[in-house]
Amino acid sequence: MAVSFAQIRATSDQVFTENCPTRVVLDHVMSKWGVLVLMALTDGTARWGELRRSVTGISEKMLASTLRTLESDGIVNRTAYPEVPPRVEYALTERGVELMERMMPLMEWIASNADDIVGRRA
C-alpha cells in the first residue's frame, strides 16, 4: 500500500499547508506544460526544437518559461555549447530522473483511463 496523506503530514504538520514549499514544487512539476516537458525529457537529452515538436501546442514563451523554472528547481539541466550556430541541450538531472521514475506510473494510469474519464462528461 502507498503512503497515506496522514503519514506524510505526520513528518511535519506544515507539509502541504498554504506557505509550504511543497505547493511551489507541485505547481512547477504538475502543471500541464511542466508534466509534458518532463515526460519528453524521459526519453533522453533534447534540444529546443525537439522539445517544441514533442510537446505539441506549447508556445515558445511557455516552453522557455517552463524550462527556466524546472532548471531553477534543479530538475532539468541546461547545457549550452559554444558553437556557431549555438547549441543548447536539456536533460533531466538526477533529481529529475528520480521524480519521473515516480511520476511515470501516474502518467501511464492517466493515459490508460483518460478516454473513459473524459467520456463520462459527454
pLDDT greater than 90 at residue 96? yes
Amino acid letter, 18 = E
Can you tell me the distance from the alpha carbon of 97 to that of 75, in angstroms, rounded to the nearest whole number? 8
The per-residue pLDDT for 86 is: 86
**pLDDT 10s digits, 40-92:** 999 999 999 999 999 999 999 999 999 999 999 999 999 999 988 889 999 99
pLDDT at 48: 93
Write the pLDDT tens digit of every residue in 1-41.
577 878 877 787 777 778 888 888 888 889 999 999 999 99
The x, y and z cell numbers of residue 84, run together, are 556557431
